[in-house]
Amino acid sequence: MTPRPAQRKPKSDPGPVSVAAVRLLQAVKRCREAHAELEGIAVAVSGGLDSMVLAEALHRTGVRFTVLHFDHRWRGASSRQDLLWVKRWATARGLPFVAGRAAKAGVVGENEARESRWRFFYDACKEVSCGQLWLAQHADDLVETFLLQLMRGAGPEGMASLRAVRVKHGVRVVRPMLEFDKAALKQIARNWGVEWREDPTNQWLSKFRNRVRLRLLPYMEKVAGRPVREPIWRAARVLADENEFWEELLPQVWPEKASCSLKLKPVAHQRRFLRGWLKSRGVPGVGFESIEAVRSLLTDLHKSKVNLPGDLHCRRRAGHLFIE
């Protein structure tokens, strides 16, 4: 029988407003001002600590927003209780509430669950005319994502994929809490008297991310003899800033053909350009192998064609690369 998630009741207010709480309210206000030209804010609220603190922070700044909740249907009745609990929170504050649920009950793969959740978020934002989707991912999530992507062999873009602002499917995704770790969020929750619900699936070691958080990171700190989360967090933020720099250098409109003069550029430039170009030409699953195969056409005069995913090919002809 799946255990019912406990509802956390924070300790009484410890006194003066904490420094972390002030910082979070300031961060939320800055984000709101930075994206004020886009009407409508939707906030993904699972009922857990992170999303409840974000929702409370927005509410305290006087912002009206739509609460989105997605039921993965992993935990039967307790998942339904999470939905009703979040709905009551939103209703008590006069906030619109939109719920979605997985097509079928039961545990599915992490990728499938993520795709279902994101599909609901984007569809819901369009349905309620919200141009912004605010997510409660924080510093610890950034560290875990960095390690997950590193172990998958991702490049700098993948390791820094958890960005503060990103536009996808016409929705601006905003993550205002990437500078706050879990400990700070718990302190804020105690200070504000925020309640939340615990999701027991966060302890399931069958999930890769949970193993990284519960096993790998503590072991890394044991081996290193010091904390490692903050240095990893800094590295991820540096990569994110460098990605923004590269995006300014790369084309806004990609050409149909790529000039072989690209070989005169540094290797890092070649890889960045070819990754964007291949994706713009509809090549699926662009990864290191595909990019290196196409890059070889720039210098290896003994070959003029390489195979790509999706039964596509890249050819070199008359000083240009093209996809067929």
Regarding whether 53 and 183 lie in a shared domain, the answer is: yes
How high does pLDDT run on average in the chain? 91
In the beta sheet, which residues pair with residue 307?
A: 313
Residue 236 lies in a domain: no
Stated pTM of the model: 0.85
**Of 205, 224, 243, which closes a domain?**
224
Residue 231 lies in a domain: no
Q: Quick one: three-class SS letters along 156-176?
A: HHHHCCCCCEEEECCEEEECC
Regarding whether 164 and 105 lie in a shared domain, the answer is: yes
* Count of domains forming the chain: 2
243 or 225: whose pLDDT is higher?
Answer: 225
Regarding whether 150 and 36 lie in a shared domain, the answer is: yes
Regarding whether 212 and 151 lie in a shared domain, the answer is: yes
Per the structure, the complete domain to which residue 40 belongs is given by 7-224
The pLDDT tens digits for 276-286 are 999 999 999 89
Residue 261 lies in a domain: yes
CA distances 239 to 7, 35, 118, 177, 188, Å, are 37, 23, 24, 18, 28
Regarding whether 306 and 164 lie in a shared domain, the answer is: no
- Quick check: 2 pLDDT over 70? no
Regarding whether 292 and 177 lie in a shared domain, the answer is: no
Q: How far apart are CA 236 and CA 143, in angstroms?
A: 7
Residue 245 lies in a domain: no
Which CATH number characterizes residue 122's domain? 3.40.50.620
Residue 229 lies in a domain: no
Regarding whether 176 and 306 lie in a shared domain, the answer is: no
- Quick check: 217 pLDDT over 80? yes
**Of 224, 240, 261, which closes a domain?**
224
Regarding whether 257 and 214 lie in a shared domain, the answer is: no
Residue 8's pLDDT is 60
Residue 1 lies in a domain: no
Regarding whether 158 and 99 lie in a shared domain, the answer is: yes
Regarding whether 98 and 211 lie in a shared domain, the answer is: yes
The pLDDT tens digits for 90-137 are 999 999 999 999 888 777 777 888 899 999 999 999 999 999 999 999
**Of 224, 240, 274, which closes a domain?**
224
Residue 243 lies in a domain: no
Which CATH number characterizes residue 287's domain? 1.20.59.20
Regarding whether 157 and 15 lie in a shared domain, the answer is: yes
13 or 285: whose pLDDT is higher?
Answer: 285
- Closest listed residue to residue 68, CA positions, set 45, 41, 40: 45
Residue 60 lies in a domain: yes
Regarding whether 139 and 66 lie in a shared domain, the answer is: yes
β-strands 132-134, 41-44: how paired?
parallel
- Would you give the DSSP letter of residue 177? B
